[in-house]
Structure 1
Amino acid sequence: MSSKENSGTSHKVSAQPRLHQKAAEIQPYGSAIMLLPLELEHPVRLEMTAQLNQLLADTMTLRDLYKKCHWQVAGPTFYQLHLLFDKHHGEQSELVDSIAERIQLLGGVSIAMAHDVAETTRIERPPRGREEVPVQISRLLDAHQILIRQCRPLARRAAALGDDGTNDLVVSDVLRSNELQVWFLSEHLVDVPLVRAFETARTT
């Protein structure tokens, strides 16, 4: 093909960025599931992505709650809890990524933006101000309980539908991580003396 014949399909290359571009969504949120060769029926993937998006919204909320507590913690246990809250925040961030990627892998669209998460999560919104440590920990434990309450029935449902990948993610990663973090938090609410042990009554 001559250069003259090809000129109709060529375009001038420019270093100028194409700004302010807009177009229709390439995949809407919710009912539109991509056709992927996963050997899972469309209704299964539709149901799993919906439930995983709820789990994702709650996990994102818990992740951010940990960062709030990390920044605002106060008192004699500041150093220990400052580090613990940040560690748990990092672990929840990893779970957020894993859940979101599972949704996309199943052909769905993962929830992403803060306002969408706020409209979807079942975790109570905390005040903007600082709270006492026992209240912070209790709030975190309540949030963990909401997640754990979702995990077991979701894992059983995924297994029943043959979605072994979702079952493995929910049990091996999400459930076990949340259970471990609950243990670490709960121990900070045990009312024991820090310096001197209680004296036990002597029996005669």
Structure 2
Amino acid sequence: MSSQPRLHQRGPAAQEFGTVTQLPIALSHDARRYSAQRLNRVLADTQFLYGLYKKYHWGMRGPTAYQLHLLFDKHAQEQLELVDALAERVQMLGGVAVGDLRHAAEITGVPRPPDGIDDVRSMLSRLLDAHERILTDVRDAAARTAELGDDGTQDLLVSQIVRTGEAQVWFLAEHLVDTPEL
């Protein structure tokens, strides 16, 4: 025995990405593999949406900076909670959740924003576009996973991802309505 930590250890992967292990959850291998794959896409998109919210939270400008700074931080926190729920569902299915942001960048369909700071209307529009992309994919995934009998994944997609996304879209879109200034 030694009190010295054994540092710099590397070994073979315990499980390869894209595979699912057999778990006794009354779902076929094919259903679990499909659901894990679709969830990983939503997970990557959600990780990037979280990143967009934080980028815009930090770079907020203009007369509504304080209000949007708080709103974007609230939405980012809600997206972070969804990231965790999605990753845990992939693991429950016997899959491997995409956890490396470089890997998520290869999978996501959310467009990368410019490196600089957008104007507020562009920020809002980019967030709305990302939400719509995710909601479109999630609705399709929910329908397909329901057909496969994966009620747990379908429930997660509808009750958490869709409902959170729709509420966030509503609050964002209201900031793009032209109203008289006070």
Structure 1 unaligned regions, length at least 5 = 1-12, 196-204
Between the aligned partners of 1:84 and 1:96, the Cα distance in structure 2 is: 18
Counterpart in the other structure of 1:154: 141
Instruction: Write out per-residue CA displacement over residues 85-143 of structure 1, whole angstroms, 9 at most, x where no aligned residue.
Output: 00000000000000000000000000011111111110110011111000000000000
User: What's the % identity of the aligned pairs?
Assistant: 53
The amino acid that maps onto 1:100 is: A
Query: Who is 1:21 aligned against?
Result: 9
Match of 1:123 in 2: 110
Q: Which has the higher contact order (CA 8 A, sep 6+)?
A: 2
Aligned to 1:98: 85
The reply on whether 1:45 has 2:26 as its aligned counterpart is no
Unaligned runs of 5+ in 2: none
SS state at 2:7 partner = coil
- When Rg is computed on C-alpha atoms for both structures, the one with the higher figure is 1
SS at match of 1:79: helix
TM-score (norm 2): 0.99
Cα distance in structure 2, aligned partners of 1:100 and 1:123: 18
> How far did residue 17 of structure 1 move?
0.2
Residue 160 (structure 1) shift: 1.0
1:83 aligned residue: 70
Aligned AA (1:66): Y
Deviation at 1:74, TM superposition (A): 0.1
The number of residue pairs the alignment matches comes to 182
Check if 1:194 corresponds to 2:181.
Answer: yes
RMSD over aligned CA atoms reads 0.6
